[in-house]
Amino acid sequence: MSATGPITPAGAGDRTGRLRDWGLGIWSVLAILFLFLPIVIAIVFSFNDPAGRFNFTWQGFTLDHWLHPFKDPDLSKSMTNSIKLALVSTLTTVALGTLLAIALVRHRFRGRAAADFFVFLPMATPEVVMGASLLSLFLVMGLNTGFLTLWIAHTMFSLSYVVVTVKARLEGMDPHIEEAARDLGASEFTAFFRITLPMIAPGVVSAAVLAAALSIDDYVVSSFNAGQTTTFPLYIFGASRQGVPAEVNVLATMLLIVILLLLGLNLAVQKMLAKRNSGAAAD
C-alpha cells in the first residue's frame, strides 16, 4: 500500500467502465422492448386472420383487413368521430394555449403566478376526477353530453400540455429580437406574425401533435362526457366484451404511422430552421 491508498490494478477502471456501459445498454434495450412490445403485437395482429371476432390468437397471415379497414360501419363512425374531435380540440387548444403561454412569458400582470399554477393543475389531476367534475359541470349547466361536451373536455385537459410546450419554446427565445422589430417600426401584431410566431412554430407544431394524440387516445374523460357519441377508444372498450375485430389493429397502426410521420416532419422542420438560423448568425 502506498501513502495515498491502495494501488488499483492497471485496466481495472477500464473493465469497470465497460461493464457499466454494457449493463446500461442491456437495461436500455430491455426498457425499449417493454415499451414497444405491445405496439409491435398490435401491428402484427393487424395481419392476423382470426376465425371470428376474437383477434387474440394467431391463425394465419392475411391482407384482407388492410384492404377493407372500414367495412364495420360502427368502427368507421367511431374513428371519424375521434378524428373530428382531435382536429377541432387541437385547433382550439393550440390557439388558446399559445396566447396563454405568450401572456405568461412576455407580460407581467396581477394573478400571473396563480395562472401559472393553475395551468399545471390539470396535468396533476387524475383523469377520473376531471371526467367526473366536467360531467357534473355540464349537468348543472343543462348541457346534453355529446360531441360538444367532448370538445370542451378534450380542450381542457390538453390545454396544459400545449401551454407548457409553447412556454418552453418562448423561454428559450431571445426577447430582444421582438424588441428590435418594434424599434424598427413594426406594430405589435406585425412583430408577432413576422417574428414571434415563425420562431415558436416548431414548439406550436409539437404542441399540436401532442394535443391531437392525447385527444385520440383518451378514454377516461371521454367515457364520462360522451353521451351517445362513440369515439375510437370507447368503441374498442365496448367491442372487447364481444371480441375486438382485426380492423381495430389496422386503424390503430394507421394512426401510429400518421403520428410518427408528423413527428418526423416536425423534427425535419426544426433541423431546417436551426440550420438556417445558424447560417444567418454566421453571416
Around Cβ 216, how many Cβ atoms within 10 Å?
22
Q: Answer yes or no: are the C-beta atoms of 100 and 163 closer than 8 Å.
A: yes
- For residue 130 the three cell numbers come to 376531471
Structural domain range at position 174? 73-244
Q: Is residue 68 part of a domain?
A: no
- DSSP line for the chain: -BTTBPPPPTTHHHHHHHHHHHHHHHHHHHHHHHHHHHHHHHHHGGGB--SSS---S---B-SHHHHSTT-SHHHHHHHHHHHHHHHHHHHHHHHHHHHHHHHHHH---TTHHHHHHHHHHHHHS-HHHHHHHHHHHHHHHTPPPSHHHHHHHHHHHHHHHHHHHHHHHHHTS-HHHHHHHHHTT--HHHHIIIIIHHHHHHHHHHHHHHHHHHHHH--HHHHHH-TT---HHHHHHHHTTT---HHHHHHHHHHHHHHHHHHHHHHHHHHHHHHHHHHHHH-
For residue 53, the model assigns a pLDDT of: 66
- For residue 161 the three cell numbers come to 400540455
Predicted confidence pLDDT, tens digits, the chain (283 residues): 445 555 555 555 677 878 888 888 899 999 988 888 888 888 888 888 876 666 777 888 888 888 888 888 888 899 999 999 999 999 999 999 999 998 888 888 888 888 888 888 888 888 899 999 999 999 999 889 999 999 999 999 899 999 999 998 888 777 777 778 777 777 777 877 787 888 888 888 889 988 998 998 899 999 999 988 999 999 888 877 777 788 888 888 888 888 888 778 878 877 777 777 666 555 5
For residue 94, the model assigns a pLDDT of: 94
pTM: 0.78
Q: Is residue 172 part of a domain?
A: yes
Q: Answer yes or no: are the C-beta atoms of 59 and 47 closer than 8 Å.
A: no
The closest of 188, 169, 168 to 178, measured between CA atoms, is 188
Q: Is residue 118 part of a domain?
A: yes
Total domains present in the chain: 1
Around Cβ 30, how many Cβ atoms within 10 Å?
10
For residue 99, the domain's CATH number is 1.10.3720.10
Q: Is residue 208 part of a domain?
A: yes
Q: Is residue 7 part of a domain?
A: no
Q: How far apart are CA 76 and CA 168, in angstroms?
A: 37
Q: Is residue 127 part of a domain?
A: yes
For residue 223, the model assigns a pLDDT of: 92
Q: Is residue 116 part of a domain?
A: yes
Q: Is residue 13 part of a domain?
A: no
